[in-house]
């Protein structure tokens, strides 16, 4: 049984590696593509619709999982990502006219995919294996996130020399759609698990422990940060380097640094359980310098401070979530309402930060608002680290009372 679980966990890592490569191939360039069509306003609107749709489809996924397996839902999520990038390939410069539709498809794809993936990760890992699993997953996401943007940037720049960069963007989007299509074959190799037991009444009426409330607060903070940082930082880096290949190279440098940190995170946290606390302050400093210094010094801080420290905090945050879920006592089929509530906390944070930026951006102050927003959310990693420390403290107190 244990060997089977380990094999399935390895299959999940392969799926996440291919998925991460496909997303990284065009993820940062999608933000730059939308920025070229409609400025920061288009970037914020697209991500805001995505965040709203993601929460909606995470709820819908819970209802679907009462009728279908996690494997079937995962395949549906991958196919939805293929649909998104195929749509971008077909719409091309007209994508701005379909911005809400594209954001909706992206939110649908993410909501469905991560509903299945989060559940599968929980099923195939234990408290003893999670540091190692999430460390390896962080390494895979980082290394694919390093290689893929260079390839994507090289394709766009090369085609731009021959024809136009718009054709280069479209070709990259088409490649991602193909990758997502082939990934369906790998995902189909996973075993077929049974359906879950889920009702919206579980979300409304279940008893929330103090530990669980802290987890929700931690993920709300993560939500304030992740979508906005990913979209704004991609555009700001592009405005500094002014070239898609250099954008990919900068992203690659940060990803290689993050890959090394992710690979070492499991070992570091096993030996020094509180290593995530200094990591949170280092990550915050990296974001703050990048927000204030729109030059190579800022890029250096992003690569050598933020990218080196954030994976350690990310691995510890993921383990915290699953360890608290373990304490609920129920089998995995009865825990989806907890995954949903956690996703709602993330989603509320994402929508809140993007909505504020949406109303502040006027078309004349876009870069200033983006830089200010990054400076403000620089404190988020510290908040996440302190909340995680509080979760550890409460856990130790509960164990001493046994």
Q: What is the pLDDT of residue 100?
A: 94
* Residue 229, token pair as written in the block: 């940082």
Q: Are 196 and 366 in contact (CB under 8 A)?
A: no
| pLDDT value, residue 197 | 67
Rounded to a whole number, what is the largest CA-CA distance in the chain? 70
Contacts of 289 (CB under 8 A, 6+ apart): 297, 298, 301, 302, 305
Residue 372 banded pLDDT, cuts 50, 70, 90:
confident
Q: What is the mean pLDDT of residues 137-148?
A: 80
1 pLDDT tier (thresholds 50, 70, 90) = very low
The tokens describing 307, both together, are 């990218």
- Those residues whose C-beta lies under 8 Å from the C-beta of residue 131, and which sit 6 or more positions away, are 265, 266, 269, 270, 315, 319
- Would the pLDDT of 184 be above 60? yes
- Confidence (pLDDT) at 204: 66
pTM for the full model?
A: 0.83
DSSP type of residue 402? -
Whether pLDDT at 38 is above 50:
yes
3-state secondary structure at position 92: helix
How far apart, in whole angstroms, are the C-alpha atoms of residue 144 and residue 179?
13
Distance from C-alpha of 386 to C-alpha of 388, rounded to nearest angstrom: 5
Residue 362: band (very low, low, confident or very high) from pLDDT cuts 50, 70, 90: low
**Chain segment 287-341, per-residue pLDDT in tens:** 999 999 888 899 999 888 998 899 888 888 888 887 887 776 666 667 777 778 8
Spatial separation of the C-alpha atoms in residues 188 and 296, rounded to whole Å: 44
Model confidence pLDDT, tens digit, residues 56-99: 998 888 888 888 888 889 999 999 999 999 999 999 889 999 99
User: In sequence order, which residues have a C-beta less than 8 Å from that of residue 137 and are 6 or more positions away?
Assistant: 13, 16, 262
Tell me the CATH number for domain 2-190+198-401.
Answer: 1.20.1250.20
| Lowest mean pLDDT, pick from 118-122, 199-203, 274-278, 377-381 | 199-203
Run of H or E including 157: helix 130-162
pLDDT at 46: 94
Per-residue pLDDT tens for 99-139?
999 999 999 999 999 888 888 887 777 777 777 787 788 77
Average pLDDT over residues 377-401: 85
pLDDT at residue 9 greater than cutoff 60 = yes
116 vs 68, 80, 112, 142, 151, CA distance in Å? 11, 13, 7, 22, 29
Portion of the chain with pLDDT greater than 90, in percent:
27
d(CA 207, CA 210): 10
Distance set, CA 22 to CA 17, 141, 311, 367 (Å):
9, 10, 20, 28
Burial (CB count within 10 angstroms: exposed 0-12, middle 13-18, buried 19+), residue 300 = middle
Residue 119, pLDDT score? 82
Split at pLDDT 50, 70, 90, the class of 381 is very high
CA atoms within 13 A on the CB side of 262: 23
In this predicted structure, what is the pLDDT of residue 101? 95
Q: Which of 222, 257, 250, 221 is nearest to 234 (CA)?
A: 250
The pLDDT mean for the chain works out to 85
8 A C-beta contact, residue 271 and residue 159:
no
Query: Is 22 a residue whose pLDDT tops 60?
Result: yes
Q: How many CA atoms does the CB half-sphere of 215 hold within 13 Å?
A: 25
- Judge whether residue 206 has pLDDT over 90: no
pLDDT for residue 2 is more than 60: no
**Cβ atoms within 10 A of the Cβ of 134, count?**
24
d(CA 312, CA 5): 25
Contact 38, 99 (CB under 8 A): yes
């Amino acid at each position: 049984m244990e060997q089977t679980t380990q094999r399935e966990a390895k299959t999940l890592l392969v799926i996440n590696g291919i998925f991460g490569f496909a997303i990284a191939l065009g993820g940062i360039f999608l933000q730059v593509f939308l920025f070229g069509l409609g400025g920061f306003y288009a970037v914020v609107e697209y991500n805001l619709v995505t965040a709203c749709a993601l929460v909606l489809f995470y709820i819908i996924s819970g209802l679907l999982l009462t009728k279908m397996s996690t494997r079937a839902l995962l395949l549906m999520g991958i196919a939805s990502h293929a649909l998104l990038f195929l749509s971008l390939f077909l719409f091309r410069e007209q994508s701005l006219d379909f911005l809400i539709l594209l954001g909706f498809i992206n939110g649908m794809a993410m909501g469905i995919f991560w509903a299945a993936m989060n559940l599968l990760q929980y099923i195939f890992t234990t408290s003893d294996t999670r540091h190692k699993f999430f460390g390896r997953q962080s390494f895979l996401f980082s290394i694919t996130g390093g290689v893929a943007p260079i390839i994507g940037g090289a394709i766009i720049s090369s085609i731009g020399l021959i024809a136009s960069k718009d054709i280069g963007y479209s070709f990259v989007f088409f490649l991602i759609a193909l990758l997502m299509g082939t990934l369906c074959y790998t995902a189909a190799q996973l075993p077929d698990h049974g359906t879950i037991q889920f009702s919206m009444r579980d979300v409304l009426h279940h008893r929330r422990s103090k530990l669980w409330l802290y987890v929700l607060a931690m993920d709300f903070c993560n939500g304030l940060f992740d979508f906005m940082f990913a979209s704004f930082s991609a555009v700001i880096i592009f405005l500094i380097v002014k070239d898609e290949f250099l954008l990919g190279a900068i992203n690659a440098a940060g990803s290689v640094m993050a890959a090394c940190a992710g690979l070492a995170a499991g070992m570091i946290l096993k030996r020094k359980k509180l290593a995530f606390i200094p990591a949170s302050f280092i990550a915050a400093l990296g974001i703050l310098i990048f927000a204030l210094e729109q030059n190579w010094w800022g890029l250096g801080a992003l690569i050598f401070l933020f990218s080196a420290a954030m994976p350690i905090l990310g691995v510890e945050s993921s383990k915290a979530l699953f360890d608290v879920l373990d304490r609920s006592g129920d089998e995995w089929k009865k825990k989806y309402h907890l995954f949903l509530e956690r996703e709602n906390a993330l989603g509320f944070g994402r929508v809140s930060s993007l909505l504020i930026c949406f109303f502040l951006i006027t078309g004349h102050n876009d870069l200033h608002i983006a830089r200010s927003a990054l400076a403000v959310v620089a404190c988020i990693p510290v908040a996440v680290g302190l909340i995680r420390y509080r979760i550890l403290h409460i856990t130790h107190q509960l164990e001493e009372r046994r």
